[in-house]
Amino acid sequence: MAQIIDGKAISRQVREEIAAEVVSFKEKYNCAPGLAVVIVGNDPASQVYVRNKKRGCEEVGFYSESYELDESTTQEELNALVEKLNNDEKIHGILVQLPLPKHLNETEVLLRIKPEKDVDAFHPYNVGKIMIGNHDLLPCTPAGVMVLLEKSGIDVTGKKCVVIGRSNIVGKPMAMLLLHANGTVTVCHSKTQKLADICREADILVASIGKPEFVKGDMVKEGAVVVDVGINRLDSGKLVGDVAFSEVEPKASYITPVPGGVGPMTITMLLKNTLTAAKIAREK
Ligand code: NAP
């Protein structure tokens, strides 16, 4: 039987730590860390994320602004808003909720966000800093996974780590953070051959594929730590991860559930990045 890594409890603990730091930040600088969230259009999932981010800000004592722009917003209008936020001293973190409507160029917008306010850590400058291990801001989901491992007392040093998925927001930075933590890392993707054999060698297996219950019991080594990043909504409405939990849980030593594992950490790490960005801005 695996120990369940309780993402909700760990997230709560990290938010309490952030809230305590915000109290000292306010005393020292007479202002609060500030986050601006920008959403364009009416995507219901994005609207839920934005609401949760706003609630997260309130919970830890941040100043926050949210901009809910019409679907028909032009590139120039969005660029101008980013520019305004770049120059606003109250704002230390800017988050543009993705995906953007098709007529808008995501890369152009993300490149315009000042790297020091890029609390999603998607700007190539921050991606490069992560690569060389000299980072201030970390991509939220992989950073959340590292905190879950750390708070669960799981040492990555020397461990065989297998990451399934190579996206820019999860798989690649996840692999990099595990490498920085001294893991021996293999990254798998849709063209990987003998995927199950590779997964079976993992001491730490991270699934970030986006395919419901893809990782089966026979793909996991006895005693492995299994981290499920996937969030998949079945036709029945049920939320499942990329790992077949009931098959894998009896073999794993630790496992993250879906929901309640990695998910709750992502916004918490966004708050942590905003606090980091605010401290750096103020200490300049
Ligand atoms: P993505 O951009 O679609 O990337 C999926 C990756 O999985 C790709 O690298 C793809 O390989 C690989 N893949 C797909 N089918 C595969 C197969 N049959 N065998 C091996 N690899 C395969 O997805 P993402 O943005 O990284 O997200 C992954 C999952 O995490 C999704 O369920 C998403 O909802 C979830 N997610 C959760 C959070 C959170 O807060 N918990 C945050 C972000 C994402 P190729 O590169 O070869 O196509």
Q: Please choose, from the candidates 283, 269, 284, the residue with its C-alpha nearest in 3D space to the C-alpha of residue 35.
A: 269
User: What integer pLDDT is reported at residue 215 of this predicted model?
Assistant: 98
Instruction: Kindly state the percentage of the chain with pLDDT values over 90.
Output: 96
- Cβ–ligand 1 distance for 210 under 6 Å, the answer yes
CA-closest residue to ligand 1 atom 2: 167
Q: Please choose, from the candidates 119, 127, 120, 122, the residue with its C-alpha nearest in 3D space to the C-alpha of residue 177.
A: 127
Span from the CA of 29 to the centroid of ligand 1 (angstroms): 40
Span from the CA of 167 to the centroid of ligand 1 (angstroms): 6
Has residue 186 got a pLDDT over 90? yes
Q: Which is the catalytic residue, given 6, 118, 120, 228?
A: 120
Q: 145 and 229 in contact (C-beta within 8 Å)? A: yes
| pLDDT, mean over the chain | 97
User: What integer pLDDT is reported at residue 45 of this predicted model?
Assistant: 87
Q: 239 and 233 in contact (C-beta within 8 Å)? A: yes
Distance of CA 160 to CAs 99, 153, 203, Å?
Answer: 33, 17, 5
Tokens 């894998």, residue located: 248
Q: How far apart are CA 277 and CA 273, in angstroms?
A: 6
Model confidence pLDDT, tens digit, residues 82-118:
999 999 999 999 999 999 999 999 999 999 999 999 9
CA-closest residue to ligand 1 atom 15: 190
Q: 138 and 273 in contact (C-beta within 8 Å)? A: yes
Model confidence pLDDT, tens digit, residues 216-270:
999 999 999 999 999 999 999 999 999 999 999 999 999 999 999 999 999 999 9
- Cβ–ligand 1 distance for 208 under 6 Å, the answer yes
What is the mean pLDDT of the segment spanning 141-158?
Answer: 98
Has residue 284 got a pLDDT over 90? no
What is the mean pLDDT of the segment spanning 114-125?
Answer: 97
Say whether 235 is catalytic.
no
Model confidence pLDDT, tens digit, residues 171-182:
999 999 999 999
Has residue 17 got a pLDDT over 90? yes
Say whether 120 is catalytic.
yes
What is the mean pLDDT of the segment spanning 258-283?
Answer: 97
Return phi, psi of residue 277, to 5°: -60, -40
H helices present in the chain, as ranges: 7-29, 44-60, 75-86, 106-112, 124-131, 140-151, 171-180, 195-200, 245-248, 263-283
Q: 39 and 188 in contact (C-beta within 8 Å)? A: no
- Using only C-alpha atoms, the chain has a radius of gyration, in whole angstroms, of 19
User: What integer pLDDT is reported at residue 1 of this predicted model?
Assistant: 86
